[in-house]
């Protein structure tokens, strides 16, 4: 009973009685004779630990960077205790349940996310999963959202992973130091009291690569791990996933794209080299030329010269090599000299067997 009263007053302006303060100190005292279990690890990328019980982590990225697709893969791996993308999950037998809160999207789009998770987990999409509950909180106030999450955790058992997609929507002022500290404290209390892991989602600033507001600063300081998802600068259909902050050792970054079924898949042999600003044709490695040409010739042959130049502009822009039409005519001449483009009676063709030779000076 005393602990319930203290819990209700946490984060408030109420005065504490001496009895309450004494109980708080008693509960916070750590003794040499105490025995603590090692917190279970539940999520990895390779041999890098992403999530343990009693902690929280985060995914962050700018708008349209495919953050929710990445979180879907984390949840799907946790749902089946298996491997999805580069994630490997293993929740203990008595805590296999997952609680997913979405604070931003409509019920229709929430249902799309749920369907995506089930498809990734290779589970039926017309049957509710036994170990997962998906809750949409878009229409509620920040205060009520917090209370609903708190109530769900308090009245449920068997949960090992809690996802909060849209932590910003649990507060009124993203730059409020007090609200930010209270919210992060709340998440630390939830993860510790119920011995589970919380994974939350927060946007990056539009103008830079920092997490948004004061809440972002607090999250970076307290989270077990923070993952950042960003759109590739060379291919708009690809998102790159890297560690931002890790208590464990950092994992090797990986890249994902969305397949024809609307599911995230790994981009194998992704080229992490980025073209330099003001780069010339000579600065581009052969692999980048191949990537641009594969995009340009996605429809096989190109019948007309004007269509070819447009396709080259599009292909090279996708890899970050944006040049004018006049410059692209020089690129065309260079590619012909290298045997990468061949002109036939029915139009222009990409020769995938070309090899870069001596390069003349082109722009």
On whether both 138 and 243 belong to a single domain, the answer is: yes
User: Does 10 have pLDDT greater than 60?
Assistant: no
| Same domain flag for 56 and 179 | yes
Query: What local confidence, expressed as pLDDT, does residue 266 receive?
Result: 94
Give me the mean pLDDT over the 274-288 stretch: 69
Residue 192 covered by a domain: yes
pLDDT at residue 117 greater than cutoff 80: yes
Question: How confident is the model at residue 360, as a pLDDT?
Answer: 45
pLDDT at 273 over 70: no
265-289 average pLDDT score: 74
> 331 falls in which pLDDT band (50, 70, 90)?
confident
In a domain, 303, yes or no: yes
**Is the domain of 255 the same as that of 303?**
no
Asked if the structure places residue 355 within a domain, the reply is no
CATH code: domain of residue 215: 3.40.50.300
Estimate the crossing angle of helix 286-296 against helix 305-318, to 10 degrees: 130
Q: Is residue 287 part of a domain?
A: yes
Question: In the predicted model, is pLDDT for residue 208 greater than 80?
Answer: no
Q: What is the tens place of the pLDDT at every residue in 148-195?
A: 999 999 999 999 999 999 999 999 998 899 999 999 999 999 999 999
> 3-state DSSP call for residue 41?
strand
From 232, 266, 300, the end of a domain falls on: 266
The verdict on 229 and 316 lying in the same domain is no
Same domain membership, residue 247 and residue 138: yes
Q: Are residues 215 and 322 in the same domain?
A: no
- pLDDT 10s digits, 337-353: 888 888 888 888 888 88
Same domain, 170 and 315: no
Boundary (domain end) residue, out of 266, 301, 330: 266
- The predicted structure's pLDDT at residue 8: 54
State which of 239, 266, 293 marks the end of a domain. Answer: 266
Based on the fold, state whether residues 166 and 305 are members of the same structural domain: no
202-221 mean pLDDT: 78
Whether residue 324 sits in one domain with residue 242: no
226 and 289 part of one domain? no
**With 70 as the cut, is the pLDDT of residue 5 above it?**
no
For 355, the token pair is 């090899």
* Domain that includes residue 253, residue range: 41-266
- Listed in sequence order, the DSSP H helices in the chain are 2-9, 18-28, 67-80, 107-120, 142-155, 177-193, 213-222, 286-296, 305-318, 325-337
52 in a structural domain = yes
Q: Are 138 and 102 in contact (CB under 8 A)?
A: yes
Q: Mean pLDDT across the stretch 65-93?
A: 95
Let me know whether 310 and 241 are in one domain.
no
**For the ranges 4-8, 219-223, 285-289, which has the lowest average pLDDT?**
4-8
> Does residue 271 fall inside a structural domain?
no
Q: 54 in the Ramachandran plot: left (φ > 0), alpha (ψ -120 to 50) or beta?
A: left
In this predicted model, what pLDDT tens digit does every residue of 21-35 receive, in sequence order?
A: 888 888 888 888 877
% residues pLDDT > 90 (the chain): 50
Q: How confident is the model at residue 2 (pLDDT cuts 50, 70, 90)?
A: very low
Confidence (pLDDT) at 236:
80
57 and 167 in a single domain? The answer is yes
- With a cut of 60, say whether residue 363 has pLDDT above it: no
- What are the pLDDT digits (tens) for 119-144? 999 999 999 999 999 999 999 999 99
Tally the domains of the chain: 2
pLDDT at residue 362 in the model: 41
Residue 291 domain-assigned (yes or no): yes
- Please give the average per-residue pLDDT across 295-315, as a whole number: 84
Q: What is the mean pLDDT of the chain?
A: 86
Q: How confident is the model at residue 45 (pLDDT cuts 50, 70, 90)?
A: very high
Q: Which of 204, 187, 249, 61 is nearest to 71 (CA)?
A: 61
Q: What is the pLDDT of residue 143?
A: 95
What's the pLDDT band for 60 if we cut at 50, 70, 90?
very high
247 domain residue, yes or no: yes
In sequence order, the 6+-apart residues with CB closer than 8 A to the CB of 354 are 338, 339, 340
CATH code at position 320: 1.10.10
Please check the confidence at residue 14 and state whether its pLDDT lies above 70. no
Residue 205 scores a pLDDT above 80: no
């Amino acid at each position: 009973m005393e602990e319930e009263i203290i819990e209700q007053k946490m984060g408030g302006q109420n005065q504490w009685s001496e009895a309450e303060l004494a109980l708080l100190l008693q509960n916070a005292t750590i003794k040499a004779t105490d025995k603590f279990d090692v917190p279970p690890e539940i999520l990895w990328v390779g041999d890098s630990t992403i999530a343990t019980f009693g902690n929280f982590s985060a995914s962050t990225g700018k708008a349209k960077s495919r953050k929710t697709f990445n979180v879907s893969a984390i949840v799907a791996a946790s749902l089946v205790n298996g491997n999805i993308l580069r994630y490997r999950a293993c929740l203990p037998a008595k805590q296999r349940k997952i609680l997913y809160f979405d604070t931003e999207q409509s019920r229709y789009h929430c249902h799309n996310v749920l369907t995506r998770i089930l498809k990734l987990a290779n589970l039926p999409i017309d049957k509710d999963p036994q170990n997962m509950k998906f809750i949409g909180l878009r229409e509620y106030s920040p205060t009520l959202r917090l209370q609903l999450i708190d109530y769900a955790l308090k009245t449920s058992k068997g949960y090992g992973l809690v996802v909060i997609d849209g932590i910003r929507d649990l507060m009124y002022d993203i730059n409020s130091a007090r609200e930010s500290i209270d919210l992060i404290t709340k998440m630390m209390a939830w993860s510790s009291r119920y011995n589970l892991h919380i994974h939350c989602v927060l946007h990056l600033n539009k103008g830079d690569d920092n997490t948004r507001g004061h809440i972002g600063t607090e999250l970076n300081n307290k989270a077990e791990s923070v993952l950042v998802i960003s759109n590739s600068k060379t291919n708009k259909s690809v998102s790159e996933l890297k560690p931002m902050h890790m208590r464990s050792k950092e994992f090797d970054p990986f890249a994902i794209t969305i397949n024809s079924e609307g599911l995230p898949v790994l981009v194998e042999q992704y080229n992490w080299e980025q073209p330099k600003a003001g780069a010339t044709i000579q600065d581009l490695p052969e692999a980048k030329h191949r990537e641009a040409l594969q995009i340009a010739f996605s429809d096989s042959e190109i019948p007309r010269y004007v269509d070819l130049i447009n396709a080259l502009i599009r292909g090279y822009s996708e890899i970050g090599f944006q040049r004018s039409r006049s410059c692209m005519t020089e690129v065309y001449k260079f590619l012909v000299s290298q045997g990468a483009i061949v002109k036939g009676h029915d139009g222009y063709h990409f020769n995938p067997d070309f090899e870069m030779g001596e390069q003349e000076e082109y722009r």
